[in-house]
Amino acid sequence: MEHTPRESESEQRPGSQAWRWLLHALRELAETVVPAVVIALIINLFLAQATQVLGQSMEPNLHTNQRVVVEKVTYRFLHGPRRGDIVVIEMPDQAEMLIKRVMGLPGETIEVRNGQVYIEDRVIEEPWTVNPGGRNYGPQVIPPLHIFVLGDNRGASNDSRSFGPVPIEDVVGRAWFSYWPTEHVGFLE
């Protein structure tokens, strides 16, 4: 009797090579996609995230549909918000995040009068462009761990004059860089 070499199991089962290829492809995909998703989530949760400006409250400095990167590291590890910073706020009673400029810090007495911002009864110089308007506010002492925010387009801004000082814990981060549209690419001031 003649002996023939035994066929391997994979040659005996039809489609087993395709099955092995599929498993290999799925494994490769998992090894690539899962770490990428985890890294993206970590970056989004702790380091930075992209957001879109909605509305006119920050014109002429930021425009509706402009895209910005919000960095989250500075306020967590280095220092709190500073006057003039553009911040993104996630308020519990607002459907969408707000983007505003920090004008008052904890413990300061703030007043908005005839389009001017006063801290401790002294006018604050604003080196950025402001469209004046809107209602007056204060004088009011900003509570500890809170900031007072205004839009740069004061007449069309829903800001701390309406909802009061914002808890620092509601600040997502600092709007840091504009990346879209291309004519507005650059660091924010």
Helix, strand, coil share (%) of the chain residues, nearest 5 = 30, 30, 40
Rounded to an integer, what distance in angstroms lies between the CA atom of residue 165 and that of residue 19?
61
Query: What's the rounded Cα separation, in Å, for the pair 43 and 41?
Result: 5
Residue 72 among the catalytic residues? no
Q: Could you confirm whether 57 is annotated as catalytic?
A: yes
31 phi and psi angles, rounded to 5 deg = -70, -25
Choose, from 72, 100, 157, 178, the residue flagged as catalytic.
100
Tell me if residue 12 falls in helix, strand or coil.
Answer: helix
Active-site residue (options: 8, 10, 16, 57): 57
Q: Which active-site residues does the annotation give?
A: 57, 100
